[in-house]
Amino acid sequence: MHYIRAFLHLMFGLMLLASVSVTSAQAQGTPPLDPTAALLVELIRVNTSNPPGNEAQLAELLAPRFRALGFEVDIIPTPVAGKSHFIARLRGDGSKKPLLIAAHADVVGVEREKWTVDPFAGVIKDGSVYGRGAIDFKGGMAVFARAALMIAEKKIPLSRDLIFLAEADEEGAPFNTSWLSRDHFAKIDAAFALNEGGWIIKGDDGRAKYVSISTADKSSVQLIVTARGTSTHSSMPQPDNAIFVLSKAMAKLADYETAVQLTASTKRFFSTLAETSVPPMSQYFRDLVSGTAAKAHAADKMISKDPLLHSIMRNTIAPVFLTAGFRSNVIPGSADATLNIRTIPGTTAASMIAELTRVINDARVEVKVAPPSGTAPPTATAAAATMIPESPTSSELYIALEREAKVTYPTAKVTPYLFQAGTDAGAWRSRGIPVFGIYPYAITADELKRMHGNDERVSIESLRRGTEMIYRTLVRVAGKAP
**The 3-state secondary structure of 405-438, one letter per residue:** HHHHCCCCEEEEEEECCCCCCHHHHCCCCCEEEE
Burial 205-229 (b: 16+ CB within 10 A, else e): eeebbbbbbbbbbbbbbbbbbbbbb
Residue closer to Zn ion by CB (options 198, 229) is 198
Residue closer to Zn ion by CB (options 108, 224) is 108
Determine the interface stretch with Zn ion among 66-74, 132-140, 179-187, 369-377 (rule: CB under 5 A).
132-140
**Residue 164 in the binding site for Zn ion (CB under 5 A):** no
Burial label, 8 (beta-carbon count in 10 A; 0-12, 13-18, 19+)? middle
Determine the interface stretch with Zn ion among 134-142, 186-194, 243-251, 287-295 (rule: CB under 5 A).
134-142
Residue closer to Zn ion by CB (options 137, 164) is 137
Residues 6+ positions from 384 with CB-CB distance below 8 Å: 430
Where in 181-210 is the site for Zn ion (CB under 5 A)?
Answer: 196
The rounded Cα 359 to chain-centroid distance in angstroms is 31
Distance of closest approach, residue 349 Cβ to Zn ion, in angstroms: 24
Q: How far apart are CA 42 and CA 48, in angstroms?
A: 12
Q: Do 209 and 411 form a contact (C-beta atoms < 8 A)?
A: yes
**Residue 424 in the binding site for Zn ion (CB under 5 A):** no
Q: Which DSSP string do the residues of 328-364 spell out, in sequence order?
A: TTEE-SEEEEEEEEEE-TT--HHHHHHHHHHHH--TT
Q: Which of 55, 106, 118, 136 binds Zn ion (CB under 5 A)?
A: 136
Distance of closest approach, residue 368 Cβ to Zn ion, in angstroms: 30
Distance of closest approach, residue 140 Cβ to Zn ion, in angstroms: 8
Q: How far apart are CA 27 and CA 293, in angstroms?
A: 63
Distance of closest approach, residue 135 Cβ to Zn ion, in angstroms: 8
Q: Which of 71, 86, 130, 137 binds Zn ion (CB under 5 A)?
A: 137
Determine the interface stretch with Zn ion among 90-98, 136-144, 315-323, 337-345 (rule: CB under 5 A).
136-144
Distance of closest approach, residue 130 Cβ to Zn ion, in angstroms: 18
Residue closer to Zn ion by CB (options 118, 136) is 136
Q: Which residues bind to Zn ion, rule: CB under 5 A?
A: 136-137, 196
